[in-house]
Structure 1
């Protein structure tokens, strides 16, 4: 019996040389990381650019995301198309420089167009968000396919090259989103972020051009007059950015804010947040309530306890601190605790609106829903809901679960009042009234009679308690106010609300309910 053996030969994979035009791997990764991250910076900051003109609603957020995705899709398609027909090395530097110019030009374009497109109409939202995102993001999205084309040596490495660069691009987007949302927006105005990004892209493009010229003699294509035109366009964009109207005196992490003096009242100041009148404060008279809905809140607060008696009051949303200042003045010793998500707005109130925090007026920065969960049971006599994102009550503050938490924190006999804004056909105010009524046994609604008849948008004040409300006294007090207002309760209120949807944490389509028919 014999045996035989044979040698086993293991062949190593052949080393695939880099393609002639390939970039160093580190440089390729950097360009993909930067361009992908820059798209997400633009997307995040665009919400702040368009917010002063069309608000920050679900529709606006959806439009910004949709436009960014459209830019990525068309930019990647166009970049791949050009990569197969032109030398990608000759296109990379111009794409970065043009993306920088387009980013800088975004500022004046959005601000001039925003003055024309003010309001929340769907067409205005789509047009303004397109102007904010589409062109620079599309240029940036075209960089990845150009780099991929340069790095491909043969088909055996296609998956590796594409997968690696795709992953790096995704990491760039994630990093940019987190840094912008957690750091840049809180630390810098939108103008600085946008212009800083434009400069970074432009300098990167010029640096890449110089590098490629040294290595292979490739620079910006075209005659000198083309380069001169690009330079002039960049300077024009920078100049327009400098003179474009800025709707903000102060940019906080959440708002474009400004304070305007009332020419008809010496101490009067109007606080605008994202172009909407939000609060009115009289610096010399804290008992002055300018807006009708604040008079309704003051009226209910006046009837919540005997005149002058202190209250433990909680305010969900600070704004200009109008109602907390009123209670501090009319009921000395009242404990006013204000939950305000925007710390920058609290600082502005202190500087411009004369807010002085202390033992009787405390401000706690954070989300009202989260902070409310930490409040003791049966600890407040009055809770005032006046939190808005532009003209919309944040959905998580409008649900039955939120109303249940408010009821838990209120003492027996305590009163909850909530300000909402709605327009015909009034679906949101009806749903929110149904939601509050699901948790409070005694409810009422204060509103202008013309708004209840469906003749226009207005503020509505929802009132709820676990004890009978002083309805007769509210009716009498309403008759003494300058503007006519109606109190709905009982069967009349039930008829008005009808079978409206009760909002829950699982289903609260606030923005859709607010959409006009």
Structure 2
């Protein structure tokens, strides 16, 4: 089955793509996807940036491997899929060995705590090259506070962190996804993207603080 790699059905994935665009990635960027799923973002970014290379890890490689059978996923070296824990994936990398880290891993509605604390974020900072970027999907549920530690850990590791998401979700009124963008990006470009998004979307440099 062929799926158009240019089309992203989920709003938070569009935020991911907009963050990468606002970052102005290197032509031959190397990206690590923590939480491979069906490799939607890897497929999309290979389409957008044909010289890029991607490593997609998931604690269970069954789903991404099935995606290889169902869909026309890029092959190695453009896309490599590994069964690996998301913390191990960053902890075992060499310093300054990645341009981009994308985190999209969940346990039910929330990010596992081992992928959202100071340890994970410090490793994510260590493995990204100068000028690199980390983009993380944060699940939020009204009445919970797990996102606060996630955002605080991101700010402890990176000088610049902004959040992109629907206004109601960022204000804790509705369950949903907020995307943390850690690294040097054109925040004005992100705001222009948010202003034209189909749903009411904001860019907040203080979210979770």
SS at match of 2:80: strand
- Cα deviation per residue 1:41-91 (whole Å; 9 max; x = unaligned)? xxxxxxxxxxxxxxxxxxxxxxxxxxxxxxxxxxxxxxxxxxxxxxxxxxx
> Is the contact made by 1:334 and 1:360 (CA closer than 8 Å) also made in structure 2?
yes
Q: Whole-Å Cα distance in 1 between the matches of residues 185 and 27 of structure 2?
A: 18
Aligned to 2:186: 470
Q: Whole-Å Cα distance in 2 between the matches of residues 408 and 381 of structure 1?
A: 11
> Is the contact made by 2:140 and 2:172 (CA closer than 8 Å) also made in structure 1?
no
Aligned to 1:298: 17
Q: Whole-Å Cα distance in 1 between the matches of residues 132 and 186 of structure 2?
A: 12
Aligned to 1:320: 38
- Cα deviation per residue 1:132-174 (whole Å; 9 max; x = unaligned)? xxxxxxxxxxxxxxxxxxxxxxxxxxxxxxxxxxxxxxxxxxx
SS at match of 1:438: helix
TM-score by length of 1: 0.39
SS at match of 1:497: coil
1:349 to 42, 67, 70: 67
1:450 to 168, 175, 182: 168
**What is the number of equivalent residue pairs in this alignment?**
209
1:482 to 173, 198, 202: 198
> Is the contact made by 1:429 and 1:460 (CA closer than 8 Å) also made in structure 2?
no
- Confirm whether residue 373 of structure 1 aligns to residue 91 of structure 2: yes
> Is the contact made by 2:117 and 2:149 (CA closer than 8 Å) also made in structure 1?
no
Q: Whole-Å Cα distance in 2 between the matches of residues 284 and 398 of structure 1?
A: 31
Shift, 1:357, TM fit: 2.8
Shift, 1:486, TM fit: 0.4
> Is the contact made by 1:314 and 1:337 (CA closer than 8 Å) also made in structure 2?
yes
Aligned to 2:208: 497
SS at match of 1:313: strand
Q: Evaluate the alpha carbon distance shift between residue 341 and residue 382 of structure 1 in structure 2; reply closer, same or farther with a 3 A threshold.
A: same
- Cα deviation per residue 1:166-198 (whole Å; 9 max; x = unaligned)? xxxxxxxxxxxxxxxxxxxxxxxxxxxxxxxxx
Aligned to 1:387: 105
Aligned to 2:138: 420
SS at match of 2:132: strand
Q: Whole-Å Cα distance in 1 between the matches of residues 3 and 119 of structure 2?
A: 39
Higher relative helix content? 1
> Is the contact made by 2:3 and 2:72 (CA closer than 8 Å) also made in structure 1?
no
Shift, 1:479, TM fit: 1.8
> Is the contact made by 2:55 and 2:80 (CA closer than 8 Å) also made in structure 1?
yes
SS at match of 1:338: strand
SS at match of 2:192: helix
> Is the contact made by 2:19 and 2:185 (CA closer than 8 Å) also made in structure 1?
no
> Is the contact made by 1:420 and 1:429 (CA closer than 8 Å) also made in structure 2?
yes
> Is the contact made by 1:381 and 1:410 (CA closer than 8 Å) also made in structure 2?
yes
- Cα deviation per residue 1:295-320 (whole Å; 9 max; x = unaligned)? 000001112226x8332111111001
Q: Whole-Å Cα distance in 2 between the matches of residues 397 and 329 of structure 1?
A: 27
Q: Whole-Å Cα distance in 2 between the matches of residues 338 and 347 of structure 1?
A: 11
> Is the contact made by 1:320 and 1:353 (CA closer than 8 Å) also made in structure 2?
no
Q: Whole-Å Cα distance in 2 between the matches of residues 350 and 463 of structure 1?
A: 29
Aligned to 1:21: none
Write out the 4+ residue segments of structure 1 that deviate beyond 6 Å after TM superposition.
Answer: none
> Is the contact made by 1:357 and 1:363 (CA closer than 8 Å) also made in structure 2?
no
Shift, 1:426, TM fit: 4.6
Q: Evaluate the alpha carbon distance shift between residue 316 and residue 327 of structure 1 in structure 2; reply closer, same or farther with a 3 A threshold.
A: same
